[in-house]
A = this chain, B = another copy of it.
């Protein structure tokens, strides 16, 4: 019925062609109008300044067709740290808060935890004392909360937590503690042909369940730390069971190894906020082909009012060596207080 009202195919195609032509003409007019430049600021949450300018300039240079600085789209790879770079990380890494929430939930099934460290202190709310047990204590927490289940079950736990849990001091959902200015950077890079990767010390299976929705980064572009898994046929169906054994730590030198093993290509841009990102930033900014621009950026947490203020002496997100190297090498350092008009995701 509807079909009989349409023009014959050839005419229809002609109409569509003309429509395309008009649409293109319209785009051309918008793009050449002087107003367009103002409306289309790709980084509206960034105040004008050196940081914003250097980032935009870099993107312009690598996308300038015909210029010696042009980089083919396939090689436009950008690597982002997560904790403290894409979302907040205080008073402790959010993944640890996930583990603590989980321990509280599991405590009723484990009465023995009341007398056993690190669980006893955790359940009393004394995180510092619990973690005084050092790496061993941390590992015990991770193993109890992250292992002994299938990968599918763990994914469900993370999804449930991320959609319901609240941050202890801001009382906001964790996904609202993502930095708006960095979301704009991710979008601007992708809009210019970049592939954006997360390269984080956090657990890869802790980030993947929500990174696509929150950051627009698909699971295959998330690189992180991991524990070992084991293939098992359960009820005739294959599954992967998470084992209480570390597999890979994606931090410091590990970030370079993780990048090489997952991407197999050197990023031309890297974004971090701590000494754990130093090697990744070195990797992105050296040994590039002649004339090829590269870019390194550090988020400096200078805003004690809207976020947290910390750097050289911080336990979480310590920024000391990398800050010195940024000065020496001319990397871009973001002064969160001065450079960001908005901090959290809007």
Contact = CB atoms under 8 A, between A and B. Distances in A.
Interface residues of A, number: 51
Interface in A30-82: 32, 74, 77
Contact of A262 (B25, B212, B220, B260): B220
Contacts of A205: 264
Given A10-B32, A286-B238, A204 B17 contact: no
Contact of A264 (B18, B74, B222): B222
Contacts of A230: 253
B256 A240 contact: yes
Interface in A198-229: 204-205, 208, 212, 218-222, 226, 229
Contacts of A257: 229, 231, 240
A14 B20 contact: no
A82 to B, nearest CB: 15
A121 interface: no
Contacts of A283: 238
Nearest to A209: B264
B220 A263 contact: yes
Nearest to A260: B240
Contacts of A74: 212, 218
A24 interface: yes
A172 interface: no
B21 A24 contact: yes
A204 B208 CA distance: 23
A215 to B, nearest CB: 14
A198 to B, nearest CB: 11
A187 interface: no
A151 interface: yes
Of the listed residues A195, A222, A261, the one surrounded by the most CB atoms of chain B closer than 10 A to its CB is: A261
A220 B197 CA distance: 11
Contact of A229 (B218, B222, B260): B260
A129 interface: no
Interface in A175-213: 195, 204-205, 208, 212
A264 to B, nearest CB: 3
Contacts of A212: 74
Interface string A1-15: 000000001100110
A21 to B, nearest CB: 4
A311 B272 CA distance: 51
Contacts of A25: 13-14, 17
Interface string A233-268: 000011110000001000001001100111111000
Contacts of A17: 21, 24-25, 28
Contacts of A264: 204-205, 208, 219-220, 222
Interface of A: 9-10, 13-14, 16-18, 20-21, 24-25, 28-29, 32, 74, 77, 151-152, 195, 204-205, 208, 212, 218-222, 226, 229-231, 237-240, 247, 253, 256-257, 260-265, 279, 282-283, 286-287
Closest 8 CB pairs of A and B: A219-B264, A231-B253, A21-B21, A13-B28, A220-B263, A208-B264, A17-B25, A238-B282
